[in-house]
A = this chain, B = another copy of it.
Amino acid sequence: MALKFEITAKCGKARRGRLHTKHGIINTPAFMPVGTCATVKAMMPESVAATGAEILLGNTYHLMLRPGADLVEKMGGLHKFMNWNKPILTDSGGFQVMSLSGLRKLSEDGVAFASHVDGKKFFLSPEESIKIQHKLDSNITMCMDECVKLPADHKRVQQSTEMSMRWAKRSLDAFVDRDGYGIFGIQQGGDYQDLRAYSAEQLKSIGGFSGYAIGGLAVGEGQEKMFEVLDYAPDMLPQDKPRYLMGVGRPDDIVGAVIRGVDMFDCVMPTRSGRTSQAFTARGTVNIRNARHREDERPLEEECDCPLCQNYSRAYIHHLQKCNEVLAVMLLTWHNLRYYQRLMKGLRTAIEQGNLEGFAKEFYQRQSLGDIEDL
């Protein structure tokens, strides 16, 4: 077994687990901050670890362009290069490449594309993607697949899913199995139950995967539709392997997905929001640029133990924002990542205590309260 996964508690469909990798254990349900270009934007890696993150996501597309997989390999792998000694998951690069409008050409073999940086031409195939992820020394390699934007008709999704399953086999065949490293298959099928079932069966029959991603969601279908798919899709996957919902999401998306049996998440939202003045709190989002914070001596969130909330007033963060100071981005990113990790910790504890329903109820109630200003 490439990656060992233990489930230590269950609550309904939700699972509390531990995924063992060469670079350490990931407690699930887990949230993975995104470190696109070998850095979580505006964070020191030791600060990312201090938020409670146990695994990062790296983007194969960005890293293959800059600095290039060969250079990262020469530098001893991505962990050493970016000074992050905990586990790393890399995506296949396929999703970003296929988002390059007008610059790419898709075939059964793979995708030809031009770099958004300098126009240089590349060809990404399942085999090439896996090879790059190997050079990066990724603990969790993702299969290369095609991800269809929803809504899409059944035929389109079926054809795409069938190709993704052929690509899954090619990805697995290209993967070099090592202890503490693994490859995840990706279930596709859009919002069609039959295609989700087909995809799950294909992946199971290929075998050899250390975990399964639920792909093709959070692509414009809305939360209601996403939850509808999550009501059945995770159940089709092996019970004893971790399930990863790619690119999700907002805090309320995550709570709903954990309840439906998802174990892993990644999203740029906490880091990106840190760069646009938006903070996540137990009482919903707060935009610190708003003038009402100008003279507010209170911390952003009383209960939070991050440096922003421990050491600064809302007035100070507001001031930094107005002056476009980098420290505002640094502190807000830290707070947001810490908020996400506190949420995951809360979910893990609730599962252990068999109280996920109560946790979720309180979570949704508090989110709807609005910022303390409005009390």
Query: Which residues of chain A have a CB within 8 Å of any CB of chain B?
Result: 37-39, 41-44, 62, 66-67, 71, 74-75, 81-83, 294-295, 297, 307, 311-313, 315-316, 318-320, 322-323, 325-327, 329-330
Contact = CB atoms under 8 A, between A and B. Distances in A.
Contacts of A83: 311-312, 316
Given A38-B319, A39-B325, 10 more contacts: A37-B323, A39-B327, A41-B327, A44-B327, A44-B330, A66-B322, A67-B322, A75-B297, A82-B316, A326-B329
B325 A37 contact: yes
B41 A315 contact: no
B39 A81 contact: no
A318 to B, nearest CB: 8
25 contacts: A37-B320, A38-B320, A39-B325, A41-B327, A43-B327, A44-B307, A44-B327, A62-B323, A66-B319, A66-B322, A66-B323, A67-B319, A71-B315, A71-B319, A74-B297, A75-B297, A75-B315, A75-B316, A81-B313, A81-B315, A82-B316, A83-B312, A83-B316, A326-B326, A326-B329
B66 A313 contact: no
Contacts of A326: 41-42, 326, 329-330
A295 B325 contact: no
Contacts of A75: 297, 313, 315-316
Nearest to A307: B44
Nearest to A334: B44
Counted per complex, copies of this chain come to 2
Contacts of A295: 71, 74
B312 A67 contact: no
B312 A42 contact: no
Contacts of A330: 42, 44, 326, 330
A307 B43 CA distance: 13
A323 B37 CA distance: 7
Nearest to A275: B326
A86 to B, nearest CB: 14
Contacts of A312: 83
Given A75-B313, A316-B75, A294 B327 contact: no
A67 B294 CA distance: 8
Contacts of A307: 44
Contact of A81 (B41, B42, B81, B316): B316
A244 to B, nearest CB: 26
Nearest to A41: B326
Nearest to A312: B83
Nearest to A324: B37
Contacts of A41: 325-327
Contacts of A315: 67, 71, 75, 81
Contacts of A62: 323
Nearest to A80: B313
A281 B20 CA distance: 42
Nearest to A40: B327
Contact of A42 (B37, B313, B327): B327
Contacts of A313: 75, 81
Sort A-B residue pairs by CB-CB distance and give the 4 closest, nearest first.
Answer: A42-B326, A83-B311, A67-B319, A37-B323
A82 B320 CA distance: 10
Contacts of A297: 74-75
Contacts of A67: 294, 315, 318-319, 322
Nearest to A310: B83
Contacts of A44: 307, 327, 330
Nearest to A329: B326
